[in-house]
Structure 1
C-alpha cells in the first residue's frame, strides 16, 4: 500500500511540498530526540553556521546511513518509498546526506531564503527534480521558535541565483521578493513526529529561535541514482539505500554514530566561492 495518497502526490508536484502528520510515532520521535541529545559524537561533530546577524545554528551532517537509530530512520521503508514516489525517476533511491538541525532557545540563528539546489548546484548534481528533502520534527516547530517558511509553488521558478549570506548560501532577494508578490508564504508549523517533504528548488527560510523552547529536526536528503553529481566526493549519493523495515527504529539494536562520515565545514563545496556568486 502506498505511503502517500494520490492527492498528496499531486499536492507535492503543484506546491513543491507536503506535510505528513504523525509520520513518526510518539515512541519513535522520543527515541530519535533522546539519541540526538545524548549521542556525544553527534554533538562533537556539529557545525556552527552564522546567519547575517551573527547568530549561530548548529547542524551535524553525515553521508552514509549506518546502523544507528537515525540510520534506521533514513533507511526505513516508509521514508525511502515516500522519496521514490516523488522523485522524477525510476532509478533506485540513494541517500545523499542527513543533517540534525539544532536550533537552541534564544541563540539559534536564522536560515536565509534559499533553495537546497542553490547549495547542491555546487556539487554539480544535474537534475533538481531528482533531489528531495524529508524533514521530521523532533520537537514542535512553530512561529515562535523559528519554524520553516516556504513559498508555495516556488519550485517551478527553477534554480534562482545564490550568493553568500553570512556563512550560508542565500537566494537572490530580488527574485525572492518577486515570488512573494505572487505566491503564498506558508509557515510550516509541525508537531513532533510530523514530516515536511519538499522539492530541492522550493524557496524556504526560517527565523531565529527567540523562544524558550528548542527546535530540533532531522532532515534526510535523497537523490535518484540516475542523478549524477560531478563535484561530490562522498559516494552515498550514488549507492542505493539498503532499506530496513519500519519497526527497526524501535526494535533493532542501534549502534552509536561513531562510524558516521560527518561533513567538515572546510570540505563543503557550497561554502567555497566559484566566482559567480552575487
Structure 2
C-alpha cells in the first residue's frame, strides 16, 4: 500500500483512496458538514471563511464583485476544522497525516487548512484549472515545502455533478502561469469584472488528457499541490456534490519543480 501511494503520486500526481472513511468517520464528517451548513443558513452574502453560491457567475465571482448570492447556499468554507472541531477529530482518527500522507511523501504531514466544497444541483459552479501551490499559505518556502491534499467525498462525486479532474504528470512540469484576480481583502473595493485565478487552456500541457475521478461517499483522492486539477459545474437537478479536503504541509517532494513550467508544445 505504501509503495502504491508513493508510486501513484510520483508518476501521476494523484492516487485514489477507496473507502477511506468508513461508517463512523463518514457519519462524523457529514454531521460536521451539516453544522457548517446551519452556520451559513442565515447568511445573505459571502464573507470571511464562507462563500455562498450565486447563479450565473458563480459564488467566487459574486463574492469578489459584491453582488447577490443565494441566501444560505454554501459553495465553500475555509478553515472548517476551526469552525467545527469534529473535522479535525475525524482526520486525526483516520490517521491521515501519519498514514496516506506519510506513505506518499515520506514524511508525516502538518495540517495547514481544511475546506468544505459544496456543489449544489443546478447552480453548482465550476472550479477552473489550477495548482494548489500557486495559492500556498504564507510561510511556505517554495524550495522546501510541498502540499498534499486529501479530498473526501461525502456524497457521490460523478462526471455529471462535477467530480475532480486531473492532468496526470503535470506535477513534475513546474508552476504554470495563473491568470486572474487575487481575492480582495476586507475593506477593499469590489471588483467590477472579477476573474477567478486559473491556468488558461493555452498554457495547459499537451502531455496527457484530463482524467476524471468519480468517487463514492467515503472514498477520497490524494494529490500533490503541483498537479493541475479542476471540477466542472453541477448541471444535475437533484444530485448535490459535497466534499471536504484536508491540506497538509510536507517537505517538498523530490519529483516536483517550482520554477515556471515550459510553454506547451
Q: For the superposition of Structure 1 and Structure 2, which TM-score range results when normalised by the shorter chain?
A: 0.7 to 0.9
Q: Does 1:32 align with 2:29?
A: yes
Among candidates 219, 223, 235, match of residue 210 of structure 1: 235
Q: Does 1:86 align with 2:104?
A: yes
Q: SS in structure 1 opposite 2:101?
A: helix
Q: SS in structure 1 opposite 2:234?
A: coil
CA RMSD of aligned residues (A): 2.7
Deviation track 1:150-197 (CA, whole Å, cap 9, x = no partner) reads 111110111111121745320143221xx2x32131110000000100
Structure 2 unaligned spans of 5+: 44-48, 61-74, 182-193, 253-265
Structure 1 unaligned spans of 5+: 228-278
| Cα distance, 1:95–1:145 mapped onto 2, change above 3 Å | same
Offset at 1:42? 6.2
Offset at 1:70? 0.4
Query: Normalising by structure 1, what TM-score?
Result: 0.69
Q: SS in structure 1 opposite 2:149?
A: strand
| Cα distance, 1:173–1:200 mapped onto 2, change above 3 Å | same
Number of equivalenced pairs: 217
| Cα distance, 1:125–1:170 mapped onto 2, change above 3 Å | farther
| Cα distance, 1:167–1:38 mapped onto 2, change above 3 Å | farther
Structure with greater proportional helix content:
1
Matches within 5 A, 1:174-189: 174-176=202-204, 179=205, 181-189=206-214
Query: Normalising by structure 2, what TM-score?
Result: 0.72
Mapped to 1, the partners of 2:10 and 2:177 lie a distance apart of 22
- Contact 1:87/1:129 (<8 A) preserved: no
